Amino acid sequence: GISGKSQLLFALVFTTRYLDLFTSFISLYNTSMKLIYIACSYATVYLIYMKFKATYDGNHDTFRVEFLIVPVGGLSFLVNHDFSPLEILWTFSIYLESVAILPQLFMISKTGEAETITTHYLFFLGLYRALYLVNWIWRYYFEGFFDLIAVVAGVVQTVLYCDFFYLYVTKVLKGKKLSLP
């Protein structure tokens, strides 16, 4: 029930976001967490496409990711903070993360249902991004920091999850299997 294409997009997100590993050192913790994010995302892709290939539902994971990557790539060149390679790639990662869940949501809509574990995974993935919104409000209020690119992308991603959140609360939390009407 997990979309390999969404997982590939998330691996691309973390790879392009954390290229600053080669240019700046903030702390051992920061470096370690970035490496863990990258390693876990590629390990997940490996598990889906190689180790557990027999259980992967490629017949339903048919979303055309080029419809996400090409516009996101173009937008990252047009709207960024600084026209430099690392900044464009960071911006690309922010924009791509906001839509990387679409292949997964498309897969669920195509099959009409999802396993409970998959729905829990998606709920917490969406909650993680919604908590970013809280972080940005906190940072603006206490630090005066505001990043329009990150906030708009976070709002877009949270809006994409809203329908799923509604189904999760009305069905899964009541002990029912997620099935689309």
Q: What is the pLDDT of residues 113-163, one digit of tens each?
A: 888 888 888 888 888 888 888 888 999 999 999 999 988 998 888 888 888
Distance CA 120, CA 168 (A): 8
pLDDT tens-digit series, residues 43-80: 999 999 999 999 898 899 999 999 999 999 999 999 99
Beta strands in the chain (DSSP E): 113-114, 178-179
Nearest CA-CA partner of 103 in 72, 73, 60: 60
Taking a C-beta distance cutoff of 8 angstroms, is the pair 56, 49 a contact? yes
Give the pLDDT score at 181.
60
Give the pLDDT score at 166.
84
* Beta carbons within 8 Å of 67's beta carbon, 6+ residues apart: none
Specify the 3-state DSSP secondary structure of 27: coil
Cα Rg, the chain, nearest whole Å = 17
Which DSSP state fits 103? Answer: H
Taking a C-beta distance cutoff of 8 angstroms, is the pair 168, 123 a contact? yes
pLDDT band for position 173 (cuts 50, 70, 90): confident
Q: What percent of the chain has pLDDT over 70?
A: 99
